[in-house]
Amino acid sequence: MQRRLVERELTEEGPLRGQGAKGKRRSVTVNLAESPLTWLHARGHLSERQFDAGERIRADYERAQMAPSITMRWDPIRVDGGGGDGLTPSERQLAAKARFDGAMREAGPGLEDILWRVACACEGLPDAEKALQWPARSGKLVLRLALDRVAEFYRIR
């Protein structure tokens, strides 16, 4: 994965309000290509098993091509299927969709919302909590529960 780093300025009104001397500005380097799951895992908030489960469900989501498309697809069409598994691209897409749906069912109602937002839509936890109107810092626990269930579905040990 290629890292895209960008400098962001944090002002008195920004996320670090009240920290540092008044009127001072600070900047941080942010990796825009880093997923929320990678960020949580790198800081010890997710176990290896939970991280693998999150990456697996995101991969199935992307293989199933479920993300909204805003333009025509110009991908080249492969006649041979190219997977070596005897499936056509459409069959592989349907299999990924079936795995994704099964994993989301395994997560269960109430847990699938945060799982989809963070693992598949790559929303940060604070944004997902706000969108779901949850209390601050409650999403991490719920996400970990969902990822444990998804790890069971994918048989990740």
Of 57, 59, 58, 37, the closest CA to residue 48 belongs to: 37
* Average pLDDT of the residues of the chain: 82
Find out whether 123 and 95 touch, Cβ atoms under 8 Å.
no
H-run or E-run covering 7: strand 5-10
Q: How far apart are CA 140 and CA 133, in angstroms?
A: 14
Matching residue, tokens 């479920």: 66
Q: What is the pLDDT of residues 98-137, one digit of tens each?
A: 999 999 999 999 999 999 999 999 999 999 999 999 998 8
Alpha carbon distance 41, 118 (integer Å): 13
Q: Tens of pLDDT along 73-90?
A: 676 665 555 556 778 888
- Per the model's pLDDT, the better-predicted residue between 38 and 30 turns out to be 38
| pLDDT-based confidence at residue 17 (cuts at 50, 70, 90) | very low
Residue type, 93: Q
pTM for this predicted structure: 0.73
